[in-house]
Structure 1
């Protein structure tokens, strides 16, 4: 089965269920924008064909994107916070394309249950983001504690948290994360972030 044929099955079997639960989209890509949070769900076929995974993404609408884009059209790869939805405790899982009607019924019954339970639990983790972000310090980045929220290199995590705190008017913490991020930049690696950190510091003083 080709990915294009599988997309038609997804549109028929999964899209109505997702729309009933507040998701917008069609085919392989869906998102949901509630208050400041954009949540994304993507069915991602393998480049080698025959199988797929489910990618999730979270974006906060006050965080600038590298390229201006309609929030309703954001894909998981546009977002800072990404993960994969799996039926077990592993970080990666690939389902085989179904080959029969019985396999289609079984597969999409499994996916609906997974999205309703584990998927919603994952996304709800970000609903109280203000409280979570307020608890993070630069030591949290050093210790890896921020990885439960965002899995990015230290400099990009610092920039993300600086912007979050700037939005919350926690100016001192915005400056603290920015100065920490600048201290982690050595040579050309990460130097493209310097103007972003400096702008946050300037606006937060």
Structure 2
């Protein structure tokens, strides 16, 4: 089975489930928009040509998309989202979903993908189901300043600022600056901008 046949089967079996849950679109990307919330499901063909990845993304429309360029909510892909994950095959995250040797094997793969959507996909989006409640809960979780990525701290600081939690935003800015690599000048500038905005609002 080739890529096109597998993608058609995926669209026939999985997409109706996604659309019933509020996703819209066609092709390789479906989106669910609800206020500031942007949820993205994307099928990405692997470079080798014999497998694909199932990408999940969640974003908030008041935060600049990843990549540095403006993108409308209707055009966002998983790569633009600040929160990302994948539905991995049984072989693990280092591998994609193989297109299968024949129709019967492909049906088995699609059936497993459907079960993984119920287990992994819904669980991911449940963490980003409501605004502001989901993100107030996210900001209340304990953050390890020794392991958090500097850019993740930036995203959380922007969310805290949008929620009016200036003190929390400033704390996250300081964590982000401490974690930012020496040459990450753009990240440092973005963190400083959040800090300055919080200072003006106090």
Q: Tell me whether the two structures share a fold, i.e. TM-score over 0.5.
A: yes
Contact preservation (8 Å) 1:15, 1:25? no
Q: Equivalent residue for 2:193? A: 199
Q: Gapped runs of 5+ residues in structure 2?
A: none
In structure 2, the partner of 1:121 is 123
Q: Comparing both chains, which one has the higher relative contact order based on Cα–Cα distances under 8 Å and sequence gaps of 6 or more?
A: 2
CA contact (8 A) 2:51 2:97 kept: yes
Aligned to 2:168: 173
The TM-score, its normalising length taken from structure 1, stands at 0.80
CA distance in 2, matches of 1:120, 1:179: 33
For structure 1, which runs of at least 5 residues remain unmatched after alignment? 147-152
| Corresponding residue of 2:28 | 28
How far 1:126 sits from its partner (Å)? 3.0
1:141 alignment partner in structure 2: 145
Asked whether the 8 Å contact 1:15–1:27 carries over to 2, the reply is: no
TM-score (norm 2): 0.81
Q: How much has 1:159 moved relative to structure 2? A: 1.0
- When the two structures are aligned, how many residues end up with a matched partner? 193
Change (3 A) 1:54 1:185: closer
Alpha-carbon RMSD across the aligned residues, in angstroms, is 2.4
Preserved contact between residue 6 and residue 97 of structure 1 (Cα < 8 Å): yes
SS in 2 for 1:141: coil
Q: Which residue of 1 aligns with 2:80?
A: 78
Q: Which residue is 1:160 aligned to?
A: 155
